[in-house]
């Protein structure tokens, strides 16, 4: 068995792990990276990248059916589902070199394609290697959670890790789970020609503002997606033509294919974390605000850290850990400036507190500023007027922003900058956005916040009147 000593051992070659490894080695640390699966992890191979590529194909197909709004004849898209998947994997292949073993070895990282498990508080084994490190970073990510539904083991079902391998278009896709993954893939498959039914045990898109989520769900229903809320899947069985999901009160949903999209679970089982004195729970590795585990030499980043499960969070965590492990500087991970987006059409984006959360936490101190996409000239030119933005403000500073509409995922980035830096609404009101752009919506909602203070204020009107009398 080969023994290796290094400054940092990174367990997991997904977004968070690769960011730590690349940053650390380029700043002079010796780094070992363990990855037993595909380099790039879930995001590149099974998550963000393939799903957005599939969504892009669905958007093009859907655009053909509504072209008459622009004076162009509608057409029924002819979808080659296998060619769509070629597009999906072509996108993955284009990005893969950035995450490849060859690139990281070129940077100076020792890459070992094995599963690692701890044997002590400072050592782990991976295949024929024993690695002793000054610091460990666990970045093992998460996997699809598949609930123990009776009969599920007797039928073929898909998760986000396998659905993209399917090259024949499902005639009727049943999606169990109405969160972002389920909603995104449901709409994409519907636009590519499948019948789709979504089954959600509570409320679809339940983590988002309910009024804004309703706009997205209404659009899916308008496109022909059946959405069943408040119904747990009680049992699954086979039928002559596919699969049946049995719901309460004797309701059955028949389909040809089944996608399970009910959530994620952290990948901790193979680590033997207890042998290193690392505490775990149902969410993953137990960490403090510094992302440090109960073993002070071990950190966790990304999905396995038990916080928000997004690729951009993993990258953010990587920066927090690098500051501490390389420079010994104190750094804490926050969440109030972290946005998330559901890449439906229209898109749904959120940062910080929703309106309900803000009112619960801040009571009457909360002010709400609103602006509709229909009042934006660029949205009118694009026929993309379904949407709105809502900003929750306390003492002049935003504490949460909800956006639904075209480019919501792009618009939310500004608010991350504002909240991360403690900026006030006046900073947004003072910016100049090019005309005509969707981005003007951010400035206009800031103007909506200040309008009552300027236009409905008797004192302002008196001051203006006095000034007009004395001006030459």
pLDDT tens for each residue of the chain, 472 residues long = 899 999 999 999 999 999 999 999 999 999 999 999 999 999 999 999 999 999 999 999 999 999 999 999 999 999 999 999 999 999 999 999 999 999 999 999 999 999 999 999 999 999 999 999 999 999 999 999 999 999 999 999 999 999 999 999 999 999 999 999 999 999 999 999 999 999 999 999 999 999 999 999 999 999 999 999 999 999 999 998 899 999 999 999 999 999 999 999 999 999 999 999 999 999 999 999 999 999 999 999 999 999 999 999 999 999 999 999 999 999 999 999 999 999 999 999 999 999 999 999 999 999 999 999 999 999 999 999 999 999 999 999 999 999 999 999 999 999 999 999 999 999 999 999 999 999 999 999 999 999 887 667 777 777 777 888 788 7
- 447 has binding-site annotation: no
319 is in an annotated binding site: no
Residue 311 contacts residue 264 (beta carbons within 8 Å):
no
pLDDT for 462: 78
181 is in an annotated binding site: yes
360 carries a ligand binding annotation:
no
2 annotated as a binding-site residue: no
Looking at residue 111, its pLDDT comes to 98
Q: Is 184 annotated as a binding residue?
A: yes
The reply to whether 183 sits in an annotated binding site is yes
Cis upstream peptide for 266 (omega within 30°): no
Contact yes or no for 201/247 (Cβ under 8 A) = no
Residue 366 is classified by DSSP as: E
| Cis peptide bond N-terminal to 278, omega within 30 | no
Torsion angle (degrees, nearest 10) of CA 17, 18, 24, 26? 180
**110 C-beta neighbours (distance < 10 Å), count:** 18
pTM of the complete model: 0.95
Strand intervals (E) in 91-232:
110-112, 116-118, 123-126, 129-138, 142-144, 172-176, 195-200, 226-229
Is 142 marked as a binding-site residue?
Answer: yes
Same fold, 152-263 and 339-455: no
For residue 443, the surrounding DSSP H or E stretch is helix 440-455
Q: What is the SS3 assignment for 140?
A: coil
381 is in an annotated binding site: no
CB–CB of 264/284 below 8 Å? no
116 a known binding residue?
A: yes
Peptide bond into 77 cis (omega under 30): no
Task: State residue 109's pLDDT score.
Answer: 98
Residue 138's pLDDT is 98
Query: Any idea where the domains of the chain sit in the sequence?
Result: 2-39+100-144+265-327, 152-263, 339-455
Q: Check whether 17 is labelled as a binding-site residue.
A: no
User: 149-188: string of b/e by CB count within 10 Å (b at 16+)?
Assistant: bebbeebebbbbeebbebeebbebbbbbbbbbbbbbbbbb
CATH superfamily of this structure's domain 152-263: FAD/NAD(P)-binding domain (3.50.50.60)
Q: What integer pLDDT is reported at residue 104 of this predicted model?
A: 98
From the candidate CATH numbers 3.30.1330.10, 2.60.120.650, 3.30.390.30, 3.40.50.2000, the one assigned to the domain spanning 339-455:
3.30.390.30
Q: What is the pLDDT of residue 132?
A: 98
Tokens found for residue 246:
């049995």
Q: Is 151 annotated as a binding residue?
A: no
Which pair of structure tokens corresponds to residue 439?
């981005």
Q: What is the pLDDT of residue 464?
A: 74
Q: Which CATH superfamily, name and number, covers 2-39+100-144+265-327?
A: FAD/NAD(P)-binding domain (3.50.50.60)
Asked whether the CA dihedral 203, 205, 209, 215 is positive or negative, the reply is negative
């Amino acid at each position: 068995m080969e023994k290796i000593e290094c400054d940092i051992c990174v367990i997991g070659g997904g977004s968070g792990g690769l960011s730590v490894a690349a940053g650390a080695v380029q700043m002079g640390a010796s780094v070992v990276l363990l990855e037993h699966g595909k380099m790039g992890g879930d995001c590149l191979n099974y998550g963000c990248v393939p799903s957005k590529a599939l969504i892009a194909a669905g958007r093009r197909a859907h655009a053909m059916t509504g072209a008459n709004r622009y004076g162009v004849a509608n057409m029924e898209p002819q979808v080659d589902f296998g060619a769509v998947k070629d597009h999906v994997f072509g996108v993955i292949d284009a990005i893969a070199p950035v995450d490849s073993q060859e690139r990281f070895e070129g940077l100076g990282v020792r890459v070992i394609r094995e599963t690692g498990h701890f044997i002590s508080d400072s050592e782990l084994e991976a295949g024929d290697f024993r690695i002793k490190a000054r610091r460990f970073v666990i970045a093992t990510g998460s996997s699809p959670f598949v609930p123990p539904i009776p009969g599920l083991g007797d039928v073929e079902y898909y998760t986000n890790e396998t659905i993209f391998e399917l090259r024949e278009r499902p005639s009727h896709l049943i999606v169990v789970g109405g969160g972002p993954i389920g909603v995104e893939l449901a709409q994409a498959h519907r636009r590519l020609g499948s019948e789709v039914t979504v089954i959600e045990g509570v409320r679809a898109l339940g983590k988002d503002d309910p009024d804004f989520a309703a706009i997205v769900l209404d659009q899916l229903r308008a496109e022909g997606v059946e959405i069943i809320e408040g119904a747990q899947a009680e049992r699954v069985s086979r039928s002559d033509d596919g699969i049946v999901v049995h719901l309460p009160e004797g309701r059955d949903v028949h389909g040809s294919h089944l996608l399970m999209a009910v959530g994620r679970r952290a990948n901790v089982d193979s680590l033997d974390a207890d042998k290193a004195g690392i505490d775990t729970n149902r969410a993953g590795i137990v960490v403090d605000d510094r992302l440090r585990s109960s073993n002070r030499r071990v950190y966790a980043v990304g999905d396995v850290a038990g916080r928000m499960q997004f690729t951009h969070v993993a990258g953010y965590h990587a920066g927090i850990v690098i500051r501490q492990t390389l420079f010994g500087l104190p750094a804490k991970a926050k969440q109030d400036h972290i946005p998330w987006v559901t890449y439906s059409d229209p898109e749904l984006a959120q940062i910080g507190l929703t309106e309900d959360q803000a009112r619960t936490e801040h009571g009457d101190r909360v002010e709400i500023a609103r602006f509709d996409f229909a009042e934006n000239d660029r949205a009118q030119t694009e026929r993309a007027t379904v949407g709105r933005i809502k900003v929750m403000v306390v003492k002049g500073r935003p504490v949460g922003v909800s956006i639904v509409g075209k480019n919501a995922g792009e618009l939310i980035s500004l608010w991350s900058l504002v909240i991360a830096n403690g900026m006030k609404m006046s900073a947004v009101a003072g910016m100049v956005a090019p005309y005509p752009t969707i981005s003007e919506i951010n400035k206009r909602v800031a103007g909506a916040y200040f309008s009552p203070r300027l236009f409905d204020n008797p004192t302002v009107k008196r001051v203006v009147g006095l000034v007009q009398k004395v001006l030459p």
